[in-house]
Amino acid sequence: MNPTVKQGICSEEWEVQYSNIKKCVLKGSTTRLSGTYKHPDHLTVTEAFWIVNPVKDKNDINLLNHSDYRGRVHYFPIKDRTFALTLSNVRYEDERMYWYKIIAKELIYLGFPGIELKVTELRVEIPEEVVEKDSPALLCKSTCNLSDRTDFIWYKNGESLSVSSIGNRRILQSVSSDDTGNYSCAARDQEHLPSPAVTLSVRYRPRNVSVSVSPSGEIVERDSVTLNCISDSNPPALNFSWFKENETSAVGSGQSFSISSFKSSFSGRFYCEAQNKYGSRRSVSLFVSPTVAGGQNTGVYAAAGIGAVLIGICIIVVVITILR
């Protein structure tokens, strides 16, 4: 005679209560399923075990003997009509309904409704655009809800951040370029299962703008001269303007500004202005002046003239002194 199969909703004497009927766990983690049960006092339980996705009129496989779970399931000893199992190295294929099955002589009891197991992984979500001085929120998300008591820990470039997060949210206050990096998160009790890292790139206007000149040595009059504008910005500056002090309008554009035949009359202090979508900044001005024909700088000639005058004065003084 085939045993009679019962489900708890039809009997007050039989009952199975699960600790939770919906459970969300991380892929790769170890989880625990548990509950309590009762049965009629006159019956003696001969066997009790966990099964998955029961099918009517089909023999159910004890998870300990199930090929998909071999080596990953451990039953805890039953005490005071409690039952529990641990499932290690959880996989997406483990997303099933888990029931507790009790056998007592000719009766079989299936603990309805079972536990629905969902498997997820963590991922970090960041705003599409973060600008310097913003306070962006980083979110540690999953496809199902982990325990409400789950605390999260955050990492930047693989190093844990000391400040704790509010739930699954991490607020970065008034960010700067120093906050640029690769961020990941993990459940505090599952730190060995962090999310994939996501790059946060803080945008900012140009800074550290400076001018360099080429050739870098002495500039001979009528030589070609190129001024280069160097800046640090995110994204890189695309617009560059060149100015000469004491002139109202720009004298050139582009990251490099070339003068094909540099003349003394064009000497002066030059500076550039770099701009991206977040703002602009100008450099310190750089004085640029060529040497005159013959390879001598006008400044050098002036110095030589002053030196000659001083030498002449000294000779006159010496002569006067001797004549006395």
Name the CATH topology of 4-119: Immunoglobulin-like (2.60.40)
Cis peptide leading into residue 113 (ω within 30°): yes
Name the CATH topology of 123-200: Immunoglobulin-like (2.60.40)
Query: Which pLDDT score is estimated for 71?
Result: 93
pLDDT digits (tens, 9 = 90+) for 106-136: 788 999 899 999 999 999 999 999 999 999 9
Task: Indicate the helix (H) or strand (E) that contains 300.
Answer: helix 298-323
Decide if 123-200 and 204-288 have a common fold.
yes
Residues 6+ apart with CB under 8 A from 213: 219, 225, 226, 227, 228, 286, 288
Residue 235 half-sphere exposure toward CB, CA atoms < 13 A:
5
Q: How far apart are CA 14 and CA 39, in angstroms?
A: 4
**Higher pLDDT pick, 13 / 172:** 172
Domain boundaries of the chain, sorted by first residue = 4-119, 123-200, 204-288
Find tokens 């099955």 and name the residue.
Answer: 101
Name the CATH topology of 204-288: Immunoglobulin-like (2.60.40)
pLDDT digits (tens, 9 = 90+) for 276-308: 999 999 999 999 988 765 444 433 332 333 344
Q: How far apart are CA 154 and CA 167, in angstroms?
A: 11
* pTM exceeding 0.85: no
Q: How far apart are CA 184 and CA 200, in angstroms?
A: 10
Rounded to 5°, the CA angle 34-186-72 comes to: 40
